[in-house]
Amino acid sequence: MGKPKAVAIIGTNASGKSSLGVTLAKTFGGEVVSADSRQIYRGLDIGTGKLSAEEMQRVPHHLIDVADVSEQFFSLAEYQAMAYRSIDDILERHRLPIMVGGTGLYVRAIVEGYRFETAPPDYERRRRLETMESAELWSTLAGYDAEVAARFDPRNKRRIIRAIEIIEHRGSYPDEIRNVAQFDFLQLGITWPPEVLRSRIEQRLTTRLEEGMVDEARRLMDRGVSAEIMDSLGLEYRYLARLLAGEYKDETEFFEDLSRAIYRFSRRQMSWFRKETSIVWLDTSGDYVSEAIDRVTAFLGRPDLQDGCR
C-alpha cells in the first residue's frame, strides 16, 4: 500500500495560491493546511493576506492563528509536528490534505519529511535571552558556532534564540536529517511573468492599505509588539513599523519602497522554488485552474469525482 496522497500549492507572493487552494478543496473534498510562517500568528491578518471566512467558502483551514505574535517562538520542527497532526486528522476523515503557502522551508519539511533533533523549550533561558539585543544574540551564537550563525539572519531574534537554546541544551546545533517522506505529494507551483507579478503585487498592496493594514500594525505596536519583533516578521510589518516611526515622508514613498521589496522577495522565492524539480508549474497564460484540477484528478487516479466531492 502506497503512502497517503496530498497536494501542495506553492508559489510567489500575490500569485493566487490561497484562492486556488480553496477551489481544489471544494472540488476534491479537501481541507487546507497553511504553510505560511506568519499566518500562524494571531493578529497578523491584513498584512499576511489571511482569507476572510467568506473567502474560505466553508473550507476548513488549519495552522492559522495558532500562536501569539508576542511569543515569537515557533520553530520549523514545531510547525512540522502540528502539520503532521493536521494532515493525519484530515486523512482519517477521508478528506484530501492541501498544503498552501509560500514558505518554502515549511513545505519542504513536510514533503520531504525532515527529521529534527531539537531541545525541549526552556522558558527561563528564553526570558534571559529575550533581554539581549539581536546583534548581541547573534554574536553569542557565533561564539558557539560561527558556521551555524552564518545560516541565520542577524535580525531574526526568535530563530537565533532558539538556536542558542538548542546548542546550550545539546552542546551542538544538529544538521537536519531527511528521512523517508510520510506522504505522496503532488506539488503545484504558481507564479506570473515579471511585469504581471509586479502589477499583482501593487494591486494587492493597494487593497491591503485600503483594508486598514496600517491601523493593524498600529494596534500590534500599541499591544506591546516591539519594533524589533515587527522587523523580524519581515516585509510588510518591517516597513509598516518604519512608516509608523516616521521614516517615510508620506505613504506614497512607503508604498513604492514596500512594493519593490515584495517584488524582490518574490524573485528570491522563485530562485528557491526553481531548485525543486518535483514541482509542476501551472501555465498561467491559460486556464491554470482547470489545469490544476486535471493534474490533481490524474494524481488521485479519479477520472470521475466521487459523490460529495464536487
Question: What is the chain's pLDDT, residue by residue, as a tens digit (310 residues)?
Answer: 689 999 999 999 999 999 999 999 999 999 999 999 999 999 999 999 999 999 999 999 999 999 998 765 678 888 999 999 999 999 999 999 999 999 988 999 999 998 776 666 677 888 888 889 989 999 999 999 998 898 888 888 878 888 898 888 888 887 765 566 899 999 999 999 999 999 999 999 999 999 999 999 999 999 999 998 899 888 999 999 999 999 999 999 999 999 999 999 999 998 888 888 899 999 999 999 999 999 999 999 954 433 333 3
Q: Please, what is the average pLDDT of the chain?
A: 90
Detail the residues annotated as belonging to a binding site: 11-18
Per-domain residue ranges of the chain: 5-116+178-300, 123-175
Q: What is the pLDDT of residues 293-306, one digit of tens each?
A: 999 999 999 544 33
Spell out the alpha helix ranges (H) of 131-191.
134-144, 146-149, 157-170
Read off the pTM: 0.80
The set of residues, in sequence order, having a beta carbon less than 8 Å from that of 237 and lying 6+ positions away, is 38, 44, 47, 217, 220, 230, 231
Three-class DSSP category at 10 = strand
Detail the residues annotated as belonging to a binding site for ATP: 11-18
Q: What is the pLDDT of residues 29-74, one digit of tens each?
A: 999 999 999 999 999 999 999 999 999 999 999 999 999 987 656 7
**The CATH homologous superfamily of the domain defined by 5-116+178-300:** P-loop containing nucleotide triphosphate hydrolases (3.40.50.300)
Single-letter amino acid code for the residue at 66? V
Distance (Å, rounded) from C-alpha 49 to C-alpha 204?
9
The set of residues, in sequence order, having a beta carbon less than 8 Å from that of 180 and lying 6+ positions away, is 113
Cell of 115: 527529521
CA 256 from chain centre, in angstroms, equals 24
Cell of 58: 466553508
Spell out the alpha helix ranges (H) of the chain.
17-28, 53-56, 76-92, 104-111, 123-130, 134-144, 146-149, 157-170, 194-211, 213-222, 227-232, 235-244, 251-273, 288-300
Cell of 71: 511569543
pLDDT at 308: 34
Grid-cell match 501569539, residue found:
68
Distance (Å, rounded) from C-alpha 194 to C-alpha 223?
38
